[in-house]
Amino acid sequence: MKKKNTWHTYNDGQLEELEALCAQYREFLDNGKTERECIDEIVNAVEAAGYEDLESAIKAGRSLKKGDKVYSVWMNKSIAMFQIGSKPMTAGMNILGAHIDSPRLDVKQNPLYETGGFAYLDTHYYGGVKKYQWVTIPLALHGVVVKKDGTTLEVNIGEDEEDPVFFISDLLIHLSQEQLEKKAAKVIEGEALDIIVGNRPLCFDLDAGEEEADGEEAEDTDTDTRKKVRFAVKAGVLDILKKQYDMEEEDFISAELEVVPAGKAREAGFDRSMILSYGQDDRVCAFTSMKAMLDTKETDRTMCCILVDKEEIGSVGATGMKSHFFENAVAEVMNLCGEYNELNLRRCLAHSCMLSSDVSSAYDPGFAASFDRKNVAYLGGGMVLNKFTGSRGKSGSNDANAEYLAQIRRIYADRSINFQTAELGKVDLGGGGTIAYILARYGMSVIDSGVAVLNMHAPWEATSKADVYETYRGYRAFVEEAEG
């Protein structure tokens, strides 16, 4: 089948809508570089659209009816949104599900140390990354520090033009003969991904009356002073943290700090046809899913949008898709609708339809040998449908039924939605997974769908504006028309 370029199908009005949507998307990327920041942005958007916190509705003893809108946040990292339809929930829901975590570096719990005149923060990489891509680029620090008294400090350093940035050093080319002989996976080791956070020592008044600020031990001083001088750069960083954030070194124990590329999402290309940004896997699908949900009016079937954490490390933990958060939220919503019992909950989930909203790999001519050109997504080719994911022999994959695919084809044909089908790459070269198989365990119909991404899992990923717009249109058509 011939692949078509979506740009050829748009009129002037659609192009205006496309640019407006992508401007909102870039702002979402800039404001949501962590799961917590994404949740803040999403909650602000859904509350402005009339959604009520599910916990508040439960405490008030409210009953839900057609058109009512509620949301539930779990641990500030996952969210489920519901708009009640006219049909009973036992008839099933139309679900959009994406993840809001992205590959990054996480600061360890005992991270701050000094060596060679530098202060470092020790990190542990999160998700699948090519480690060598993270050196020598400007990095920002985002997250929270929760003190023993429960006070939460929000951290966002490196995004404002007046902020400092951080970085990971690399060996200069003049001395890298041995380094360049290593395999790419070993050029930069995981334990070498420590960020440089300071170089200026804090000066101390010594017993001898002189200042030592070169990081070396001073003579004729007591033990405590020698320790201070020896680790003067670390002490300088701690002094800044204390003055600016009222933060002690022990507060790192109860901190969640993420190291991400510094900088805003940008339009890419002379024609401004693409978006270059950190975190587009999978925030491009999270944003378009949320936007489709908010822009859709009342429907027959209840609509749901799930945006979850931990997909990049296997959907584990209390905020991942494998937790019972989503199932519990559905049960609570059904209870407020007067429909809950265990059997009805099972019927609701089994009769639901879902688009597992996740990105797909885009064809890269520079690495053509890694792709099956007949079964790969192209930038500008429209929304992507992946019948299956997994690796090699479809291991770990959801595999959508032909009948379900036919229904989606019909919906998209009626709405003139441009879509393409794809696999992640050649059969024996690897692969990947999504949250699709987890929801499929309930017996619901699920297929992976989303946006093609170039440079996936790199610090800077690229997408086509046309694909972002077409995916939004596809998600909206799905929640309005899909049937169980």
Q: Which tens digits make up the pLDDT trace of 67-105?
A: 999 999 999 999 999 999 999 999 999 999 999 999 999
Q: How far apart are CA 484 and CA 354, in angstroms?
A: 10
267 inside domain: no
The whole-number pLDDT of residue 397 equals 84
User: Residue 455: pLDDT band by 50, 70, 90 thresholds?
Assistant: very high
24 inside domain: yes
Same domain, 312 and 348: yes
pLDDT at 230 over 90: no
Q: What is the mean pLDDT of residues 280-291?
A: 97
225 inside domain: yes
Same domain, 145 and 215: yes
CB atoms within 10 A of CB 163: 12
pLDDT at 207 over 60: no
Same domain, 421 and 463: yes
Find the CATH number of the domain harbouring 11. Answer: 3.40.630.10
Same domain, 390 and 472: yes
333 inside domain: yes
Q: What is the mean pLDDT of residues 222-245?
A: 81
Ranges 29-43, 214-228, 285-299: which has the least confidence:
214-228
269 inside domain: no
326 inside domain: yes
The whole-number pLDDT of residue 231 equals 80
Same domain, 97 and 149: no
Q: Are strands 445-450 and 353-357 parallel, antiparallel or unpaired?
A: parallel
The whole-number pLDDT of residue 209 equals 45
Q: What is the mean pLDDT of residues 114-141?
A: 97
The whole-number pLDDT of residue 222 equals 56
Same domain, 247 and 125: yes
User: Residue 234: pLDDT band by 50, 70, 90 thresholds?
Assistant: very high
User: Residue 326: pLDDT band by 50, 70, 90 thresholds?
Assistant: very high
pLDDT at 66 over 50: yes
Same domain, 19 and 88: yes
- The residue from 229, 261, 293 where one domain ends is 261
Find the CATH number of the domain harbouring 227. Answer: 2.30.250.10
Same domain, 57 and 130: no
Q: What is the mean pLDDT of residues 228-247?
A: 89
Same domain, 318 and 441: yes
Which tokens hold the place of 249?
A: 């070194």
- The residue from 202, 226, 261 where one domain ends is 261
Q: How many domains does the chain fold into?
A: 2
464 inside domain: yes
Which tokens hold the place of 202?
A: 């804090």
The whole-number pLDDT of residue 215 equals 47
Q: How far apart are CA 209 and CA 215, in angstroms?
A: 17
Q: How far apart are CA 404 and CA 436, in angstroms?
A: 14
pLDDT at 15 over 70: yes
CB atoms within 10 A of CB 253: 12
Which tokens hold the place of 179?
A: 């380094």
pLDDT at 219 over 60: no
Predicted confidence (pLDDT) per residue in 420-435, tens digit: 999 887 887 777 789 9
Same domain, 363 and 287: yes
Half-sphere exposure of 441 (CA within 13 A, CB side): 9
Computed over its alpha carbons, how large is the radius of gyration of the chain?
25
The whole-number pLDDT of residue 394 equals 85
User: Residue 226: pLDDT band by 50, 70, 90 thresholds?
Assistant: low
- The residue from 228, 261, 294 where one domain ends is 261
Same domain, 238 and 304: no
Q: How far apart are CA 468 and CA 379, in angstroms?
A: 10
81 inside domain: yes
Share of the chain above pLDDT 70, in %: 94
Same domain, 371 and 475: yes
pTM, entire model: 0.93
Centroid of chain to Cα 11: 32
Structural domain of residue 25, as residue ranges?
6-102+278-481
